[in-house]
Amino acid sequence: MDKFKYIYNYKNWISLINEGLIHTYPIKTAIKLITRELSELGIKSSIDAEYDTSTIFMKGYSDSFVDKDIKSLIRVIATCGYFPSTIELYDENDILIKSIVCKGVNYTDQDYDTFFNIVNDDIKKSYYTQFTIESGFNKLIDVPNLVFHVTKSRYLDKILKIGLIPKSGNKKAYHHDRIYLGYDMNMVENLSNQFSEKCEYVLLEIDTSGLKFDSSGLPVKFYDDPDFSGNGCYFNGNIPPENIKVLYKFNN
C-alpha cells in the first residue's frame, strides 16, 4: 500500500483513480486510508462502518469539512473505489437538519467545485456533517431466473419499446447508474412507498435466464445490493424489452 504515499503526484493520482474505478478495496483498507487522510488534513471526524453493506460513515465538526483540502480526502475515497452518496447536516443537539444527495457529481473535475460551492453554505450553518461513503462496485452474484422491478407507469411505453435503462433517481442515496431488482415481488412493490411521488406504479418481472449480454452488447453482471443485501441486486447495463413482462399496475 506504499503507493498511496504518492497520492498528491498528479500522474500517480490519475493512474490510481482509474484503478479504483474498476474495483473496490476491502472496507478495512479503505477505512485505514481515509482515517490517515483525516489526520493529515487535521479534520476532526470519527469513522464508523457497516461491513455487511460496505458502507462507511464519516462524521465530524462541520467547520472541518469546509476546508479546501477536503478535495484530497474525496480523491482518496474515490481511489479506494468508494464515493460519497449523501451529506447529512446536524445541529448542535445532533438532530438532522438536512440531507443532501450527491447526485451526478464528478469528484475528479470542476463539477466537484461547483457542487461544493453550493453546499458549503449549508455546511457552515450546521454543527456536525456526516458523509455516507459507499462502495462503487460490489460483489458479483448469481441471481434467480425471475426477478422484479418497480417503476412509474408513465414510463411503461418507453420501457416496452427500448427496455430498462439505468438511472440514478428515486433512491434514498445517489449511486452510479444502476437498475435495482428484487427477488420477492411483494417486497419490491412495497419499495414504491419509499418514493417521494405518489402516483401509479407498475411491477415488472425480469427474466434473467439466457440474458448473457445486455442491449449494448456487454456481458451481463449482477451485483449484490448493499442496501437490500440478500433480497435484491443491481445491474449496470440495459435490460432489453424481450426480457421484461408486465405483471400489474398499482398506486403507492
Question: Do both 73 and 166 map to the same domain?
Answer: no
User: Can you tell me whether residue 251 is helix, strand or coil?
Assistant: strand
Half-sphere exposure of 72 (CA within 13 A, CB side): 20
CA angle 68, 35, 137 (to 5 degrees): 90
Number of domains in the chain: 2
Report residue 106 as a C-alpha cell. 464528478
pTM of the complete model: 0.52
Residue 145 is given by DSSP the state S
User: In CATH, what number is assigned to the domain containing residue 229?
Assistant: 3.20.170.30
Question: Do both 111 and 193 map to the same domain?
Answer: no
Question: Do both 112 and 172 map to the same domain?
Answer: no
Structural domain boundaries enclosing 172: 140-251
Last residue of a domain, which of 135, 159, 180? 135
* Rg, Å, the chain Cα set: 20
| Closest to 70 (Cα-Cα) out of 123, 10, 140 | 123
The region, left, alpha or beta by phi > 0 then psi within -120 to 50, assigned to residue 81 is left
Question: Do both 150 and 213 map to the same domain?
Answer: yes
- Compute, in degrees rounded to 10, the torsion defined by CA atoms 163, 190, 131, 114: 40
Distance CA 189, CA 102 (A): 26
Last residue of a domain, which of 135, 154, 179? 135
Last residue of a domain, which of 100, 119, 135? 135
Question: Do both 27 and 104 map to the same domain?
Answer: yes
pLDDT by residue, tens only, the chain of 252 residues:
444 433 334 344 344 444 444 457 788 888 998 898 888 888 888 999 877 667 899 999 988 887 656 777 778 888 888 888 888 999 999 999 988 877 555 555 556 667 777 788 888 889 999 998 887 766 678 888 999 999 999 999 999 999 988 764 444 444 446 788 999 999 899 888 777 688 899 999 999 887 777 555 667 778 777 667 678 888 877 888 999 999 999 987
Question: Do both 125 and 147 map to the same domain?
Answer: no
